[in-house]
Amino acid sequence: MSNNNNKTVITTKGVTKVYNPKTIPVHALDGVDLEIKAGEFTAIVGPSGSGKTTLLNAIGGLDRPTEGSIEIAGVDIATLSDGKMIEFRRNNIGFVFQAYNLIPVLTAKENVEFVMLLQGKKKAAMDSRTKELLESVGLGDKMNNRPAQLSGGQQQRVAVARALASKPQFVLADEPTANLDSKSTANLLDIMARLNKEENITFIFSTHDQRVIDRARRVVTLVDGKVFSDEYK
């Protein structure tokens, strides 16, 4: 896996996001240049309003930059049509959100399978991948439980398994520990760190949680929409 370590998975150049440009402009991002390589475990940090979530949403194709380019797997996603963006996101980017965002009527297994279903994967392939992923996050025995039957920490682990189901280029985790207690946070970070180390999965966090920052191997600090510092540990 180490031969893959130097591959660049994300390049942002001059990424700017301005809200309300015609009335009272708010510069959420102001010329962000960033390069993320395969296998990174990176935290994007900064005070509230610094642009962390806006940057994550732009990289994830959930929000379009006002200016600049975001290249993922050789594609500038800022130029994709809405339809192509949805397809690209589904096949290349995994998401873990603060609020878990699981589908309440589906079991853990069905939540993880959902992306693969959209990708048109065969049932046997989906079954084996889902079982493998839920076991890897310690939930092999909870496959048939619905979200309401799981603790917050367990729901977030299902969300991690779901994020990995499509074999994405990287996983974006937006404040993934915000609703978790200390034990669940430690458990979740242990699982993510192990997946990062053993499977070279790239994780990018937006966070103000010191526990996440302590575990990250690179910390990018945003202030007023600009990169203030970028440090490797």
| Structure confidence by residue, pLDDT tens digits, 79-89 | 999 999 999 99
Q: What is the pLDDT of residue 177?
A: 93
Predicted confidence band of residue 164 (pLDDT cuts 50, 70, 90): very high
- The CA distance from 42 to 202, in Å, is 8
Q: What is the pLDDT of residue 1?
A: 35
pLDDT at 115 over 90: no
pLDDT at 71 over 60: yes
Q: What is the pLDDT of residue 2?
A: 41
Read off the CATH number of the domain in which 11 is found: 3.40.50.300
Average pLDDT value for the chain: 93
Q: What single string gives the DSSP state of each residue in the chain?
A: -GGGTT-EEEEEEEEEEEESTTSS-EEEEEEEEEEEETT-EEEEE-STTSSHHHHHHHHTTSS--SEEEEEETTEEGGGS-HHHHHHHHHHHEEEE-TT----TTS-HHHHHHHHHHHTT--HHHHHHHHHHHHHHTT-GGGTT--GGGS-HHHHHHHHHHHHHTT--SEEEEESTTTT--HHHHHHHHHHHHHHHHHH---EEEE---HHHHHH-SEEEEEETTEEEEEEE-
pLDDT at 16 over 60: yes
pLDDT at 3 over 90: no
pTM: 0.92
Q: What is the pLDDT of residue 214?
A: 95
Q: Which residues pair with 75 in a beta bridge?
A: 72
**Domain that residue 187 falls in:** 2-232
Q: What is the pLDDT of residue 141?
A: 96
Percent of the chain with pLDDT over 70: 98
- The tally of domains found in the chain comes to 1
pLDDT at 60 over 80: yes
Is the pLDDT higher at 210 or at 99? Answer: 210
Q: What is the pLDDT of residues 116-130, one digit of tens each?
A: 998 888 999 899 999
